[in-house]
Amino acid sequence: MPMLRIKISQEEPVYVIGVVCRLVNIPIWTLRQLDKAGVVRPKRIGKKNRLYSLRDLKRLEYVHYLMEKKRVNIHGVKLILEKEG
C-alpha cells in the first residue's frame, strides 16, 4: 500500500481543541483563556468550535514553556509575545 503524502500549510486550521490540549499539554480551559486574552487566535467554526493551525501549536508550545518553566501568567505571556513581535 503506498504511503499517503499530505502537505498541510502551517497556517491551515485543522486541529480541534481536544487534540491541541493533548499535543501541547495545556488544559482545555487554559486554551480557552489564552484565546480570550488574545494570546492565540484559533479559527472559529460556528460559535463554539475552534480550529488551530501548526503555527498556533508552535506558539502554544512556547506559551506552555513560559507558563510551566518560567511561571509566567497569561497576561505576562501576552506581554512577552507582543514584545517579541
Question: In this predicted model, what pLDDT tens digit does every residue of 1-28 receive, in sequence order?
Answer: 778 888 899 999 999 999 999 999 999 9
Is residue 38 a contact partner of residue 77, using CB atoms and an 8 Å limit? no
Q: How many domains does the chain have?
A: 1
Evaluate if pTM is beyond 0.85: yes
Q: What are phi and psi of 2, to 5 degrees?
A: -70, 150
Q: What does the pLDDT read at residue 66?
A: 98
Q: What is the DSSP letter of 70?
A: S
Classify residue 1: in a domain, yes or no. no
Domain around 35: 15-84
Classify residue 73: in a domain, yes or no. yes
Question: In this predicted model, what pLDDT tens digit does every residue of 17-60 receive, in sequence order?
Answer: 999 999 999 999 999 999 999 999 999 998 889 999 999 999 99
Query: What's the CATH code of the domain at 34?
Result: 1.10.1660.10
Is residue 18 a contact partner of residue 50, using CB atoms and an 8 Å limit? no
